[in-house]
């Protein structure tokens, strides 16, 4: 039996994920970065990734320029979900490049494809990535609407953007991941939260592929192995960012409580309300944090 490699969309071409040589991958990312470099009025120095419930964080950007993924060469096109775009603008004195609706593994993409927007950020010279996904809590001390700074993560997505030959220009073959989330940035974020008269948790994020929610047994397992919150995004982008030497601040908005013994079916309206509460909290923190960076 012949097993064919998975096919994916790259612009208008369909090609096998496994056939792209490192030099080709590097050239594709550099070509995509060149399009943004010539399109944007300023070169951003901070990247911002949000989630479905926190995408409106990008609405706070002023003097914005929007570049659809479809206008950037070599970016994958997901067959479902919203139209993706880069949004560049100013936020509290900083030039920021945001991706309000990141790609996901459950779009049918590989981890390498999901990480491409961050690869492009790194190629532009961005050196700080702020990632703000939504997540469900498996920690009984966290409530919907809270915000958790990521101190570490557990990757159960079964995928890694570093699979395959290494692109040496991006980073080492075996990058260190002992401290993926910058401790100094977390300290500064807590100080900013104090000034904003709000509170942040510190915890461990667990990434799963999605899109389904988890079973009760799975939530028990996640809690048992030390996770505080679980979500379907973020991990490929963080690994790629650290591979390229970017500093990372992760802040997950808690949208629902996932406690196996008491959990009920999740109501979308409750998730949306919690996401908006957490988004407002995180926006206040960023308003205090970014001017100090």
Q: What is the pLDDT of residues 33-55, one digit of tens each?
A: 999 999 999 999 999 999 877 87
Distance CA 119, CA 72 (A): 13
Q: Write down the domain spans for the chain.
A: 7-292
Lookup: tokens for 74: 């070599």
> CATH code for 7-292?
3.40.50.1580
Between 99 and 4, residue with greater pLDDT:
99
188, 191, 193, 199 alpha-carbon torsion, rounded to 10°: 110
Cα-to-chain-centroid distance, residue 131: 5
- Average pLDDT value for the chain: 91
CA angle 46-48-54, nearest 5°? Answer: 155
Lookup: tokens for 128: 């700080």
Distance CA 135, CA 230 (A): 5
Cα-to-chain-centroid distance, residue 10: 21
**Which pLDDT score, from 0 to 100, does residue 4 have?**
34
Neighbours of 67 (CB within 10 A): 16
Question: Which residues on adjacent β-strands are paired with residue 14?
Answer: 9
Between 38 and 17, residue with greater pLDDT:
38
Distance CA 187, CA 242 (A): 19
**Which pLDDT score, from 0 to 100, does residue 178 have?**
97
With contact defined as beta carbons under 8 Å apart, do 160 and 245 qualify?
no
3-state secondary structure of 238: helix
> 0.85 exceeded by the pTM?
yes
20, 24, 27, 28 alpha-carbon torsion, rounded to 10°: -30
Quick one: average pLDDT of 43-70?
92
Between 113 and 80, residue with greater pLDDT:
113
- Nearest-CA neighbor of 127 among 249, 39, 217? 249
């Amino acid at each position: 039996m012949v097993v064919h490699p998975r096919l994916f969309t790259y612009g208008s071409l369909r090609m096998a994920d496994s056939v792209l040589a490192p030099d080709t991958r590097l050239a594709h990312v550099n070509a995509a970065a060149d399009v943004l470099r010539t399109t944007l009025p300023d070169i951003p120095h901070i990247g911002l990734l949000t989630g479905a419930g926190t995408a409106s964080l990008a609405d706070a950007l002023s003097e914005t320029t929007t570049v659809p993924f479809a206008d950037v060469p070599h970016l994958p096109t997901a067959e479902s979900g919203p139209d993706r775009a880069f949004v560049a603008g100013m936020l509290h004195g900083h030039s920021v490049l945001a991706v309000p609706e990141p790609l996901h593994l459950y779009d049918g993409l590989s981890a390498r494809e999901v990480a491409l927007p961050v690869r492009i950020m790194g190629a532009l010279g961005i050196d700080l990535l702020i990632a703000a996904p939504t997540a469900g809590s498996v920690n009984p001390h966290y409530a919907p609407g809270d915000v958790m700074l990521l101190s570490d993560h557990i990757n159960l997505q079964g995928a890694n953007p570093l699979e395959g030959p290494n692109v040496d220009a991006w980073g080492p073959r075996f990058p260190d991941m002992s401290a993926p989330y910058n401790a100094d940035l977390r300290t500064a974020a807590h100080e900013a939260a104090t000034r904003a008269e709000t509170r942040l948790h510190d915890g461990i994020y667990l990434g799963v592929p999605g899109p389904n929610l988890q079973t009760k047994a799975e939530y028990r397992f996640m809690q048992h192995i030390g996770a505080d919150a679980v979500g379907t995004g973020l991990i490929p982008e963080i690994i790629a960012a650290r591979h390229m030497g970017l500093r990372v601040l992760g802040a997950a908005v808690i949208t629902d409580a996932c406690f196996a013994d008491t959990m009920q079916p999740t109501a979308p309206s409750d998730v949306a309300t919690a996401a908006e509460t957490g988004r407002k909290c995180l926006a206040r923190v960023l308003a205090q944090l970014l001017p100090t960076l």
